[in-house]
Chains A and B, each alone.
Chain A
Amino acid sequence: MSWLWIDAGGAQVWLPGVLVLGAIVGTMAGLFGVGGGFLLTPLLSVVFGVPLEIAVGTGLCQMVGTSLASFLKHRALEQGESRFAVLLAAGTFLGVELGAGAVSSLRRLGSVPGLPILWIDLVAKSGFAAFLLLISFLSWRRRTRLEPADPTPGPLARLQLGPRVFMPAVGFDAPAMVIAYLGLLLGFMAGFIGIGGGTVLLPLLVYGFGFPFRHGAATGLGLMVATAAVGTVTHAFRGHVSLPLAMALLVASTLTAQIGAGLTRRLKAGTLHGGFAAVTALVAASLVWDVLRRL
């Protein structure tokens, strides 16, 4: 039964397990517009024994296909704001560079006295975990509140700063400068901590700009395709992508990503908020675990 096993960087990975993992990651991408890197990378590495660098590169490679399938399904359902995504993109790529530069500078601070952990890991990861727990709490509270029939602009959309861009899918406008700087922030987070995209963007779109949940989930996906493609090329050059493993993940994830995207129409907004609360709490828990295991 050797066909049930895939070789990835010297590790033998069990195919049915990979299919189940792909199905879970795809559903999350479709429902919440999150990449699933927080779930996929540690599981591939810890449970399946794939070397960490191969797990990161392969995760990005499968995200190209999963986010594209989910993005196309959301587009077919007329969900998401492409103008918003384009404005975000410019800031994001600059932000990644700034984030990566900040990491290099902060690494020079060295490790916490008496503990085998770097200051940067301790401060950045605990800070981000605290931010995610706050988002999780906000989402959990929102699950019992009814979503208004007509979307109303949130506090960030109401800011009076420079030229404004109209977003037809949600029916209101927002300051272009705020969106571009939001892209910069997202890119910075991705370069700084390695987690960005959906987990940060979705709460900002829903609670900050007043997007309905399904439009929020769809908006980040186009950006995610581009980010994942750039990340994949970087890792593939270093030989850190296992294409057979990525394809095995994609067989299930591209299908469930479309089912997940379709479900955003059928599920009640409260259920989506509750689900997102659970996802952000899970990401926060994985960050806390990552810090604790180094102590």
Chain B
Amino acid sequence: MNPILYAALCVVVPAVWALVSVGLFRLWERRKK
């Protein structure tokens, strides 16, 4: 794979995963209440 694309993926994918995880966690907390 192109090294620039791979480097971008290595930063973007974990960041997107973190945002999804935070969203899901907030949703779960709201439902719990």
Contacts and interface: CB of A to CB of B under 8 A. Distances in A.
B30 to A, nearest CB: 12
Main secondary structure of the interface of A (DSSP, over half): helix
A61 B8 CA distance: 11
Given A255-B25, A258-B25, A236 B18 contact: no
B17 A65 contact: yes
Most buried by B among A232, A239, A241, A254: A254
Contact of A64 (B3, B4, B11): B11
Contacts of B21: 65, 69, 250, 254-255, 258
Contacts of A66: 18
Contact of B22 (A69, A237, A243): A69
Interface residues of B, number: 17
Interface in B1-33: 3-4, 6-7, 9-11, 13-15, 17-19, 21-22, 25-26
B32 to A, nearest CB: 12
Given A68-B19, A69-B21, A255-B21, A237 B7 contact: yes
B29 to A, nearest CB: 9
A233 B14 contact: no
B17 A241 contact: no
Contacts of A246: 10, 14
A254 B17 contact: yes
A73 interface: yes
Interface in A224-248: 229, 232-233, 236-237, 239, 241, 243, 246-247
Contacts of A255: 21, 25
A77 to B, nearest CB: 12
B28 to A, nearest CB: 10
Interface string A4-24: 000000000000000000000
A269 to B, nearest CB: 24
Given A62-B14, A65-B14, 6 more contacts: A64-B15, A232-B10, A233-B7, A236-B7, A237-B7, A243-B10
